[in-house]
């Protein structure tokens, strides 16, 4: 009986301990769940997140920041200031709280206090969006070109998503020679956003002459410009009718090019992204066309016709001579390929030369073409005609040149 009486209190103590531990576990589990939930919804709903975890400085800072977005009353800004200071007491490194205090000071016209807060925010982190944008605006307002580009660089290095916001602004600003010079120096450091920005402005800039000059300056600074970006600028200038600018830029990227005659007569240059002013092979409808091994090679399926190769010219009116060398061409005259010169602005044909069979004159061909006034841009095109042979058409152009007739 004595032993039974002693075990009852021990059992009660064990049960009490277990209940206490279970209660603590439940409380800790609830706290963990609410904190995790608060972290999850902090960006979407900082108000509820703060209610779930009012002790977390980063969540408090996020709520403070959310109160400064859009049209905000002074009472709301006062509340945001109070929450931001609370956040800093909870978490001294909560950079969002510091930038919120800076934004509110700026809104009240207290530039000195705003700059002090943002300098502190920048020291805490370079990744805070509000701080990055304020630093850019501040250096622009002070006319500090180098400082502006430095902050652009920091922002784009740390937050790639800012490219959608900053690329259009930076692209427009680059038309200013002083900013362009600073931009070249920045891009010469090979930032990871450099190629992306260069490709962006080649697609989206409306001031093509300035972009061409920027690319020339980059080349002088030994900053590589992607071939696709170079091609887009040349093509855009030609299409816009800015022919002198197009040629100046093209000549800067194609050593030895001359406007007086067609280019690369021996097909020595293989280009992954040829411009309109280069030889452009055309692979359509089953046609296989390529520049390789110092020649232009083509295979055309039976009953297929169309353009095989083309190059845009910028000749003045006058009489021109086309000469060249072929191999592998052997067909009836009506089925043989021919060179055609076409006026680019209205697709008017200016003349043509049907290629002789390659066995004739050892493959050499020659002819005369005339360019009338009012046709400043022409396209020299090698055309294939539908062929009745089952094997289709194949051949090789080893050399071709269009130049003024003497």
**Residue 248 maps to which CATH number?**
1.25.40
User: Does 121 lie in the same domain as 71?
Assistant: yes
Q: Which residue has the tokens 């090679």?
A: 297
Which helix or strand (DSSP H or E) is residue 340 part of? strand 338-343
Q: How far is CA 72 from CA 77, 219, 300, in A?
A: 7, 48, 69
Instruction: Give me the pLDDT at residue 240, please.
Output: 94
In-domain check, residue 87? yes
* Mean pLDDT confidence for 137-160: 85
* Domain-terminating residue out of 186, 218, 253: 253
- Domain of residue 329, CATH code: 2.60.120.260
User: Does 171 lie in the same domain as 240?
Assistant: yes
In-domain check, residue 330? yes
| Burial classification of residue 84, based on how many CB atoms lie within 10 Å of its CB (0-12 exposed, 13-18 middle, 19 or more buried) | buried
pLDDT of 381 > 50? The answer is yes
User: Does 357 lie in the same domain as 297?
Assistant: yes
User: Does 194 lie in the same domain as 338?
Assistant: no
In-domain check, residue 272? no
In-domain check, residue 37? no
201 in Cβ contact with 167 (< 8 Å) = yes
Confidence at 13, pLDDT banded by 50, 70, 90: low
**pLDDT tens readout for residues 24-83:** 444 434 444 454 544 555 566 677 766 666 777 777 878 877 788 777 788 888 888 888
Sheet holding 349-354, edge to edge: 280-281, 306-313, 378-384, 338-343, 349-354
Which helix or strand (DSSP H or E) is residue 149 part of? helix 145-158
Instruction: Give me the pLDDT at residue 44, please.
Output: 61
Domain that holds residue 358: 280-404
**pLDDT tens readout for residues 214-257:** 999 999 999 999 999 999 999 999 999 999 999 999 999 999 99
pLDDT of 352 > 50? The answer is yes
pLDDT winner (highest mean) among 141-145, 203-207, 306-310: 306-310
User: Does 219 lie in the same domain as 96?
Assistant: yes
Q: What is the DSSP string of 166-232?
A: HHHHHHHHTTSHHHHHHHHHHHTT--TTHHHHHHHHHHH-S-HHHHHHHHHHHHHTTPPPPHHHHHH
* Domain-terminating residue out of 234, 253, 272: 253
User: Does 285 lie in the same domain as 242?
Assistant: no
User: Does 327 lie in the same domain as 197?
Assistant: no
Mean pLDDT estimate for the chain: 85
User: Does 354 lie in the same domain as 241?
Assistant: no
**pLDDT tens readout for residues 300-320:** 998 888 999 999 999 999 999
Number of domains the chain is built from = 2
pLDDT of 390 > 70? The answer is yes
Q: Which residue has the tokens 């200038």?
A: 237
Instruction: Give me the pLDDT at residue 379, please.
Output: 98
In-domain check, residue 263? no
User: Does 303 lie in the same domain as 188?
Assistant: no
pLDDT of 158 > 90? The answer is no
339 in Cβ contact with 381 (< 8 Å) = yes
pLDDT of 150 > 70? The answer is yes
User: Does 313 lie in the same domain as 389?
Assistant: yes
User: Does 298 lie in the same domain as 165?
Assistant: no
Q: Residue 22: count other Cβ atoms within 10 Å of its Cβ.
A: 10
In-domain check, residue 266? no
In-domain check, residue 324? yes
- What's the rounded Cα separation, in Å, for the pair 228 and 84? 48
Q: Comparing 324 with 46, which gets the higher pLDDT? A: 324
The bridge status of strand 349-354 relative to strand 318-327 is unpaired
User: Does 69 lie in the same domain as 182?
Assistant: yes
In-domain check, residue 75? yes
């Amino acid at each position: 009986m004595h032993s039974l009486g002693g075990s009852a209190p021990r059992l009660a103590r064990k049960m009490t301990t277990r209940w206490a531990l279970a209660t603590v576990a439940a409380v800790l589990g609830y706290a963990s769940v609410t904190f995790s939930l608060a972290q999850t919804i902090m960006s979407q709903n900082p108000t509820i997140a703060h209610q779930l975890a009012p002790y977390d400085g980063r969540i408090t800072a996020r709520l403070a920041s959310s109160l400064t977005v859009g049209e905000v009353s002074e009472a709301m800004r006062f509340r945001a200031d109070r929450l931001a200071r609370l956040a800093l007491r909870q978490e001294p490194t909560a950079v969002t709280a510091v930038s919120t205090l800076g934004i509110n000071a700026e809104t009240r016209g207290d530039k000195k206090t705003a700059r002090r807060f943002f300098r502190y925010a920048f020291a805490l982190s370079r990744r805070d969006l509000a701080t990055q944008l304020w630093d850019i605006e501040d250096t622009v307002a002070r006319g500090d070109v180098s400082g502006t580009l430095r902050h652009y660089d920091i922002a784009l290095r740390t937050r790639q998503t800012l490219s959608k916001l900053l690329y259009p602004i930076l692209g427009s600003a680059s038309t200013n020679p002083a900013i362009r010079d600073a931009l070249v120096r920045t891009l010469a450091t090979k930032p990871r956003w450099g190629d992306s920005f260069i490709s962006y402005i080649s697609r989206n800039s409306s001031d093509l002459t300035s972009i061409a000059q920027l690319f020339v300056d980059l080349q002088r600074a030994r900053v590589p410009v992607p071939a696709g970006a170079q091609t887009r600028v040349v093509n855009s200038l030609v299409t816009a009718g800015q022919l002198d600018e197009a040629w100046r830029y093209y000549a800067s990227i194609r050593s030895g090019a001359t406007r007086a005659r067609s280019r690369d007569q021996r097909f020595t240059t293989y280009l992954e992204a040829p411009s309109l002013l280069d030889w452009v092979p055309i692979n359509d409808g089953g046609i296989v066309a390529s520049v390789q091994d110092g020649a232009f090679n083509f295979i055309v399926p039976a009953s297929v016709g169309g353009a095989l190769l083309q190059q845009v010219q910028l000749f003045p009116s006058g009489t021109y001579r086309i000469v060249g060398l072929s191999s592998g061409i052997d067909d009836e005259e009506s089925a043989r390929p021919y060179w055609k010169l076409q006026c680019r602005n209205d697709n008017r044909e200016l003349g043509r030369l049907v290629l002789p069979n390659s066995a004739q004159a050892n493959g050499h061909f020659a002819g005369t073409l005339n360019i009338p006034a009012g046709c400043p841009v022409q396209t020299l095109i090698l055309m294939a005609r539908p062929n009745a042979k089952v094997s289709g058409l194949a051949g090789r152009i080893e050399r071709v040149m269009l130049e003024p007739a003497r």
